[in-house]
A and B are shown apart, each in its own frame.
Chain A
């Protein structure tokens, strides 16, 4: 067993390394793919020497690089938070999208954008308020209805739909700024800027470190408050703190990317199915998987552009995610308690 415990550390390093490589490859692809395709050589030359070709450098440094980086940050935050939310609610079907958290965050961010002269640094805060109130409302409704894991999902869908509806309503009222906000409903990275990264990266970094440090205690929280307290954990405080931090993590990204479905659901489960259910694996590797999946989805989006613009990224993530959701529903739907 000692050997097994040591193997686990090696496995964590191995899989992290493996995912980093996958991520790096899709990162290179994302610099090449777009309405103006670049060859690998052009990308490398201009990354090393930006003065070589002004047009290509502008494309890479002003558009593709920030877009790819922000996509990875968002995917990472969705993967990590998805794993946390599944464990906290003890519901394998939960994720930031299905619990209504993303829609609430997008609504919060949309309200912030419509306020006159608001600093970009306040937008994640508004998104956070929207996100956390949505998931708290979902948890409250599910507890009140005593409806079990499926009831929790239904409550989440209800809250998410309501938040999206209010979002569309607000967009319609505020006609002049409508064009940008419409993207929130299905998510898009086509307008990602360096400023988005400057705002979200520190938040995601801080939240992820906090969540990783507490990954072992998150395993113990799976046992429920009574058993966890008995092992010396301040279970209620940790539960609330982890919910707050994970929704801050997702909300800050959703504020700029829009609502992205299913990445937070698939990424942690892929790690659970393939490697381990231990949250010390699920959170970091789930984050990397989320970043990878979202970047690949964005590459697909960029490869098929029609004259009217790009398709929303949720088109791709839903096409991957919904079959996976149905699989989980068939396999595990009724098994766990909230």
Chain B
């Protein structure tokens, strides 16, 4: 089977330190891929490489073409990305932020088309932030901002959706809801790649998990096959027991941190 995304041995240096080293993986159509790993493992960097905001050594091929051969406008029609450090100045309204996502499709430079406004409405409703549409973006809570930004990514209607920690800052209900939305998108033939710290939710929704540590892939495969106690110890240095409920793992850490480790 021909793969839609082929990451072929990419390496990223930042000020002579290696952030990512020889990363290789493939993603097929309709797959949801989760990238997990401790802080500083290189998850976001990997996502940025696919989003073309970092140019790595090595090749990334999307739909049979190396990514540097696409123009900005072509690329924005196939890949959307929610990247960190979202800057907003001059008090933009929520719907203005989401409408920006339509920029990749429209050639009309001045006003958005009616269909763009309708799809903005649709995604604001899907992410349960429609009631906030006329509010200033900066006045929202972190969780609300996150949902607005996810709506902005989805409104681009691309085949590949990259999301950096989409469920961070969200409460339990919205975590599940957003994972459900992403899962249904991937079932409809989109490729969804997320990074997450929530191993349990990522494992239960993603078809494939990549575990990164110190810029290297330490495990890759179906969550049920790779998430185990040894992996958690190797990657996070935590002794934990893992209980599986169908495909949902519950990770119970052993509380063996010594007092003197806590109070330096």
Contacts and interface: CB of A to CB of B under 8 A. Distances in A.
A222 B76 contact: no
B144 interface: no
Interface string A319-338: 00000000000000000110
Contact of A232 (B104, B109, B111, B133): B104
A227 B153 CA distance: 11
B90 A230 contact: no
A4 B87 contact: no
A233 B72 contact: yes
Interface of A: 1-2, 4-5, 9, 86-87, 90, 92, 213-217, 219-220, 222-224, 226-227, 229-234, 272, 277-278, 280, 336-337
Contact of B111 (A9, A220, A226, A336): A9
Contacts of B89: 90, 92, 222, 336-337
B92 interface: yes
Contacts, number: 96
The bracket for how many chain B residues form the interface is: 35 or more
Contact of B81 (A230, A233, A278): A230
B110 A216 contact: yes
Contacts of B79: 230
A220 B109 CA distance: 12
Nearest to A3: B117
A139 to B, nearest CB: 16
B114 interface: yes
A229 B52 contact: yes
A4 B99 CA distance: 13
22 contacts: A1-B95, A1-B120, A1-B130, A1-B133, A4-B134, A5-B111, A5-B117, A86-B90, A90-B87, A215-B110, A216-B109, A219-B96, A220-B100, A222-B89, A222-B90, A226-B53, A229-B72, A230-B52, A230-B79, A232-B72, A232-B104, A278-B96
Contact of A230 (B53, B109, B133): B53
Contacts of A222: 87-90, 92
Contacts of B57: none
Closest 8 CB pairs of A and B: A232-B76, A277-B90, A232-B104, A232-B73, A231-B103, A226-B53, A336-B89, A5-B117
B53 A224 contact: no
Interface in B45-74: 51-53, 72-73
Given A2-B114, A219-B96, A223-B100, 7 more contacts: A1-B117, A1-B133, A4-B95, A215-B110, A222-B89, A224-B85, A230-B80
Interface in B23-61: 51-53
A246 B87 CA distance: 23
Nearest to A213: B109
B77 interface: yes
Given A230-B76, A230-B83, A232-B76, A2 B103 contact: no
A291 B142 CA distance: 41
B4 to A, nearest CB: 19
B86 interface: yes
A230 B161 CA distance: 12
A216 to B, nearest CB: 6
A223 B86 CA distance: 7
B110 A213 contact: yes
A231 B104 contact: yes
A155 B75 CA distance: 38
B198 interface: no
